[in-house]
Amino acid sequence: MGFHWEWFAVKATGPDILDRLIAVRGSTQAKVLTKLSNQGVHEALEKYAEPTSDWLACASFQGWTFVQGSVTFWGDDVVRIAKELDADACVAAAESTTWVLMMEYAKPNGNIRTRSFMLEGSDNLDNLKFTVVRRTASQGPLKRDDEGKETSEGSPLPGEPLDIVVADDERLLRVLQGIGVPLDAFVKHHIGWFDWKRMVAIDGPGAREPAFTLFIEGPLRTEAQPPPSKRGLLSRLRGR
């Protein structure tokens, strides 16, 4: 069990948002599929994408456009998008195999706020410790606050809960909610959540809504693939 996710979000919506994000990456359009559910994105990737293909999938929610893909946006790209779209931009990731939690939030004026949590000894992204998380219902989500430390840069954002350490994905999502990024609500609506008491994944009420647009760049498969046997790539793995 663990958390394994990465999302980019921009506080803007509209049919041109994905095109403008693709332009930032310097990509050339290969295939665009619209009106897909979260599971439909996974099925389309199984059908059309090769292992070397790049992809982005996006959906609008509460005034934000949320994006996930094979490659997303960090650092200078986040600042550039915020400036070019004249809108706040945010990226966040949580990975339990290395226990790395990160977020960056950029304003159109170029200001950026970053927070991250890593285990002691993991000085940078090139030197990470790996772990396998196995938990029972009675144990609940794993906490590793005493094994690492949080670092931050930039001025705190309005509403940012400074008393919360971003030491696991639940608390990272709470910080994002505090600064106005509804990623937790988005995931729970369009994908779902993990019920620790019953140890099962629960689909969100909008899991079947055709809310996503998918962009695939690079080599495409020409023959249909067999049906997928796992949950969509946009969902968290079961448990934390």
Give the model confidence (pLDDT) of 82-118 as tens digits. 999 999 999 999 988 788 899 999 999 999 999 999 8
Please report the sign of the dihedral spanned by the C-alpha atoms of residue 87, residue 165, residue 102, residue 63.
Answer: negative
Q: State residue 238's pLDDT score.
A: 36
CA 81 to chain centroid, in Å, comes to: 17
CA dist 234 and 230 (Å) reads 11
Helix axes 169-178, 183-190, angle to 10 degrees: 120
CA dist 127 and 108 (Å) reads 32
pLDDT band per the 50, 70, 90 thresholds, residue 234: very low
Q: State residue 231's pLDDT score.
A: 42
Interval 45-67 mean pLDDT? 93
Q: For residue range 9-30, what is the model confidence (pLDDT) as tens digits?
A: 999 999 888 888 888 877 666 7
